[in-house]
């Protein structure tokens, strides 16, 4: 049974299309097989009717697939900000790299956040231990 889907519904309107650089397209090509649920060995399950259809986002410098734009691209904040020309205003307090986040309280990049969380937890436990042993 053939499923009739409007193909145009899967694409962004032309006035919203972003153009990517070759470096960004390389990152997109790595991201799609990892994160897109419609990707199947080079084919797009959302566009498949009777015949397999190639994933257009893998080969296009234009950001045209709605599914990729709204569901896959947010998985990589740096790439998302680069494509949309939203350069981050914040820098990591430890290493100085740009910090991409939806939350205004974010202070560290993901790598430094793990390190700082461990340091803060160690310090908190050290203070707790000292407090308990002073009263004895």
Q: In sequence order, what DSSP letters do the residues of 4-19 get, joined into one string?
A: ---GGGGB--GGGPEE
The CA-to-CA distance between both ends of the chain, in Å, stands at: 78
Instruction: Give the pLDDT score at 99.
Output: 80
CA gap 75, 60 in Å, rounded: 19
9, 75, 15, 60: CA torsion to nearest 10 = -80
Instruction: Give the pLDDT score at 9.
Output: 57
Q: What are phi and psi of 42, to 5 degrees?
A: 90, -5
- Give this prediction's pTM: 0.55
Which residues in the chain come in under a pLDDT of 50?
1-8
């Amino acid at each position: 049974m053939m499923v009739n889907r409007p193909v145009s519904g899967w694409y962004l309107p032309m006035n919203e299309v972003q153009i990517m650089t070759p470096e960004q397209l390389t990152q997109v090509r790595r991201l799609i097989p990892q994160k897109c649920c419609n990707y199947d060995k080079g084919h797009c399950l959302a566009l498949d009717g009777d015949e397999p259809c190639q994933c257009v986002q893998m080969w296009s410098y234009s950001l045209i697939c709605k599914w990729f734009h709204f569901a896959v691209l947010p998985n990589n904040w740096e790439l998302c900000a680069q494509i949309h020309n939203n350069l981050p205003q914040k820098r990591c307090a430890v290493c100085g790299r740009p910090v991409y986040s939806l939350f205004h309280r974010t202070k560290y990049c993901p790598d430094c956040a793990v390190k700082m969380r461990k340091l803060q937890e160690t310090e908190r436990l050290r203070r707790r231990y000292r407090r308990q042993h002073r009263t004895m």
